[in-house]
């Protein structure tokens, strides 16, 4: 079908529309960053850029063509109609109509699918699943930290407002009271964790979720006063999360899942970018040394617990690499998390949800890290009447 409308597409599509379509098909995995940038940089004339765009998509086959058609329909219904791409338009002999195989495309939910009482009851009888009573689910609490505006305005994270909005909405819908902070220094992030570790709901909740979104480097999230290229960057060591929420400093969360999501670079390896969430290209390690000395405990009334237990983390990229963000839609990781959780959180456990985020990711590879869960955790969205 795209081959048939190619001349009209080249004639009618605007330059702004071409760039929007390129953004859409990048998110859909039809093109990669290199292809997108080559289309833009090597074709300064509007008509040349349009020809290059549609030719690349046509060569990638029916599925890629359907994605572009869907984007045209969403972005510019008038152009969609002028090109004769409407579903009611008969396809030429031998060509596949756009609407002929709608079941082939994965349908991501734009709203949270809800769990059933029967599903929850079934899991309550499973000793391999973290217990979540309706009362504990109703007392959930989450920490959301988003750095958007920096002292050095060149580091401002455009599009991060959308991330903050999307994550707050998702967490609220999952039943969490959201403790939200915006534009914090590294020291202030640390203080926010200390304050959160004393939240009165932690003794009643079944779990916590922590989301941090900022610039970053290996082992650290950067605060808003960071200055690239110095040895004194404003930073928050990621290890502090596990220290502040671990059993030693936060006994209220003992044996409860602590889910960590971090959108930030872990290095600055070069590659095609939309926006880079990295700061200092130097890769620094912020490991905190831990004493291995054993204590002699004679009293059987003492309970020995692991210093780091019942955590699971999802980082936006693999070590030493960059994370990407779209100026309009926000970070790729957060987009993936919202879509996957909306669609599957009512029936999948947290590890399976993170696996699906990895599968969906095209531009970057999120990395599950420091998983010390001893059981399976489910969100049961909607169970507490949210």
* Residue 384: per-residue pLDDT: 65
**The overall pTM is greater than 0.95:** no
| Alpha-carbon span 38 to 229, nearest angstrom | 30
CB 347 within 8 Å of CB 341: no
Clarify whether 131 is annotated catalytic: no
Q: What is the pLDDT of residues 258-316, one digit of tens each?
A: 999 999 887 655 333 444 465 543 322 222 233 333 343 333 334 445 567 899 999 88
Instruction: Point out the catalytic residue in the list 215, 244, 326, 346.
Output: 215
Structure tokens at 30: 């039809």
Mean pLDDT by runs of 10 across the 386 residues of the chain is 86 90 87 85 88 91 88 86 63 35 56 93 93 94 97 91 96 97 97 98 97 92 80 85 95 96 74 46 29 36 59 83 75 91 96 89 76 95 73
Clarify whether 306 is annotated catalytic: no
Phi-psi group of 326: left, alpha or beta (phi > 0 → left; psi -120 to 50 → alpha; rest → beta): beta
Phi-psi group of 175: left, alpha or beta (phi > 0 → left; psi -120 to 50 → alpha; rest → beta): left
Beta strands in 135-238 (DSSP E): 140-146, 176-182, 208-213, 216-217, 220-222, 235-237
Q: What is the pLDDT of residues 199-232, one digit of tens each?
A: 999 999 999 999 999 998 888 999 999 876 555 5
Instruction: Point out the catalytic residue in the list 199, 250, 265, 346.
Output: 265
* Residue 305: per-residue pLDDT: 53
* Residue 332: per-residue pLDDT: 85
Domains in the chain, please, with CATH? 2-100 (1.10.533.10), 117-287+301-369 (3.40.50.1460)
**Residues facing 324 on adjacent strands:** 276
* Residue 86: per-residue pLDDT: 56
CB 366 within 8 Å of CB 306: no
Q: Counting beta carbons within 10 angstroms of the beta carbon of residue 337, is it exposed (0 to 12), middle (13 to 18) or buried (19 or more)?
A: buried
* Residue 182: per-residue pLDDT: 98
Share of the chain above pLDDT 70, in %: 80
* Residue 286: per-residue pLDDT: 27
**Residues facing 311 on adjacent strands:** 258
Burial 40-64 (b: 16+ CB within 10 A, else e): eeebeeeeebbbbbbebbbebebeb
């Amino acid at each position: 079908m795209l081959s048939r409308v190619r001349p009209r597409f080249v004639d009618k599509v605007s330059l702004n529309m071409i760039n929007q379509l390129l953004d859409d098909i990048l998110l859909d995995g039809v093109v990669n960053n290199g292809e997108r940038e080559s289309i833009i940089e090597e074709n300064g004339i509007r008509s040349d850029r349009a020809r290059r765009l549609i030719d690349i998509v046509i060569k990638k086959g029916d599925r890629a063509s359907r994605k572009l058609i869907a984007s045209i329909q969403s972005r510019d219904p008038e152009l969609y109609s002028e090109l004769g791409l409407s579903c009611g338009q008969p396809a030429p002999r031998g060509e596949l109509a756009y609407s002929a195989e709608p079941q082939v495309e994965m349908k991501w939910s734009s709203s949270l699918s809800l769990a059933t009482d029967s599903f929850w009851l079934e899991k309550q009888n499973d000793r391999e699943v973290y217990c979540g009573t309706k009362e504990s689910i109703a007392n959930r609490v989450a920490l959301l930290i988003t750095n958007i505006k920096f002292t050095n305005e060149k580091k401002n994270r455009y599009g991060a407002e959308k991330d903050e909005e999307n994550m707050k909405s998702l967490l609220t819908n999952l039943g969490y009271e959201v403790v939200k902070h915006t534009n914090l220094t590294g020291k202030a992030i640390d203080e926010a964790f200390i304050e959160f570790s004393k939240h009165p709901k932690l003794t009643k909740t079944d779990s916590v979720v922590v989301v941090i979104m900022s610039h970053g480097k290996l082992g650290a999230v950067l605060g808003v006063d960071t200055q690239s290229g110095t040895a004194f960057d404003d930073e928050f060591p990621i290890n502090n999360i596990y220290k502040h929420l671990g059993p030693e400093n936060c006994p209220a969360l003992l044996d409860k899942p602590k889910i960590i999501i971090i959108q930030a670079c872990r290095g600055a390896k070069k590659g095609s970018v939309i926006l880079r969430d990295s700061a200092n290209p130097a890769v620094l390690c912020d490991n905190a040394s831990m004493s291995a000395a054993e204590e002699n405990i004679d009293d059987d009334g003492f309970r020995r617990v692991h210093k780091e237990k019942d955590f699971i983390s999802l980082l936006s990229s693999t070590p030493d690499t960059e994370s990407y963000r779209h100026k309009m839609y926000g970070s790729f990781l957060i987009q993936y998390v919202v879509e996957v959780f909306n669609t599957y959180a009512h029936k999948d456990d947290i590890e399976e949800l993170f696996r699906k985020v990895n599968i969906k990711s095209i531009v970057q590879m999120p990395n599950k890290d420091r998983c010390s869960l001893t059981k399976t955790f489910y969100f049961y969205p909607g169970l507490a009447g949210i």
